[in-house]
Copies of this chain bind each other. A is one copy, B any other.
Amino acid sequence: MQIGIVGLGRMGANIARRLMRGGQTCVVYDHAPEATQAVVADGATGATDLGDLVKKLAAPRSVWLMLPAGKITEDSLNDLYEILEAGDTIIDGGNSFYKDDIVHAAKLKEKGIHFVDVGTSGGVWGLERGYCMMIGGEKDVVQRHDPILSVLAPGRGDIPATPNREGRDTRVENGYMHVGPVGAGHFVKMVHNGIEYGLMQAYAEGFDILKHKSSTDLPEAQRYDLDIADVAEVWRRGSVVSSWLLDLTAGALAGNSTLDKYSAEVADSGEGRWTIEAALEEAVPAQVLSAALYARFRSREENSFADRMLSAMRFGFGGHKEFSPGLK
């Protein structure tokens, strides 16, 4: 099957490569010509702009967007709205907000253009391992793209089957799922990332407790000097906390046990925040997912107003000397 791919960053370029390895045909475009050239070198047809890309695709066309959510995706959708035709399909494989999908799909529908949202997990590992995909859209449109989706998906691999799944949609065991109408794909991916934040923070706090156990703030008799890298490794085997994130953690610690080459300022994408907004809309108590998101906010702050206010209150009530160094 032929597909156009727009956006050839870490994710988009590898998606094109995996598709071509799986026998599919890709017309690719990135606003950076060298990004386009790199994928052309691996067998894709390059395009110089969106118009050129559309011209190089046979109707009914399918265009996969793999762009940052927000303005860039928005602009490309608007441009494609002008130049695509009835019967064509746009697949948004990025991290767009699911409520935006619904607006986008409605607008494209005016011209008879289909819209599919695909939440895509796989990171830099997707090229080799495949991408886990959560898909929203019309049933037959999703079905028509199965040649693409089945190639991108991880497949069963050597992951043991879950019992009691007889008679269920077999795409799911292959790592891709048509989860519902437009927006549903990105909704499920959004929650997926919200969970990811929670899992990451759980490990981070636990290892922090292990790390601080050797702190000289503790009485000597209460200290253990633990090899954190080995602890991460041993938990990968037979322990209930084993996971892919732990594999990655063990890898990072084996190479740099103090983790001092890593920043302590942790970015968050929209999805973590939108997950909390969904929890608010649904009145779901998301204590852990929120706490994990806030830990990221906090990691990027220094000398916060909130903390200064606590100091000010302590001084006001108890006369505690809590002044900033310059003013002591």
Among A27-35, A49-57, A139-147, A202-210, the stretch that binds chain B is A202-210
- CB of A72 within 8 A of chain B? no
Residues of A272-325 whose CB lies within 8 A of B: 273, 275-320, 322-325
Q: How far is the CB of A182 from chain B (nearest CB, A)?
A: 10
Q: Which of B242, B250, B281, B319 contacts A10 (CB 8 A)?
A: B319
- CB of A59 within 8 A of chain B? no
A237/B282 in contact, CB under 8 A? no
Residues of chain B within 8 A of A130, CB atoms compared: 237-238
B283/A287 in contact, CB under 8 A? no
Contact A264 B311, CB 8 Å, known A208-B284, A231-B179: yes
Instruction: Please give me the residue from chain B that is nearest to A309 by CB atom.
Output: B204
**Once the chains are docked, how many angstroms separate the CA of A212 from the CA of B213?**
31
Contact A238 B153, CB 8 Å, known A180-B226, A315-B252: yes
Instruction: Please give me the residue from chain B that is nearest to A206 by CB atom.
Output: B195
- CB of A126 within 8 A of chain B? yes
Among A61-69, A77-85, A107-115, A164-172, the stretch that binds chain B is A164-172
Contact A164 B255, CB 8 Å, known A226-B180, A238-B154, A278-B209: yes
Residues of chain B within 8 A of A212, CB atoms compared: 282-284, 305
Instruction: Please give me the residue from chain B that is nearest to A292 by CB atom.
Output: B288
Instruction: Please give me the residue from chain B that is nearest to A245 by CB atom.
Output: B313
Residues of A5-48 whose CB lies within 8 A of B: 10
Per-residue 0/1 for A138-164: is the Cβ within 8 Å of any B Cβ (1 yes, 0 no)? 000000000000000111111110111
Assign chain A's interface to a size class.
35 or more
Residues of chain B within 8 A of A181, CB atoms compared: 224
B282/A213 in contact, CB under 8 A? yes
Residues of chain B within 8 A of A275, CB atoms compared: 206, 209
A-B pairs with lowest CB-CB distance, top 4: A198-B202, A243-B243, A175-B237, A248-B316
Q: How far is the CB of A314 from chain B (nearest CB, A)?
A: 7
Contact A121 B261, CB 8 Å, known A283-B297, A296-B310: no
A262/B308 in contact, CB under 8 A? yes
**Once the chains are docked, how many angstroms separate the CA of A5 from the CA of B313?**
28
List 12 additional contacts besides A184-B224, A215-B282; criterion CB under 8 Å: A123-B317, A129-B238, A159-B236, A165-B254, A172-B234, A209-B279, A243-B244, A252-B309, A252-B313, A263-B308, A287-B295, A291-B291
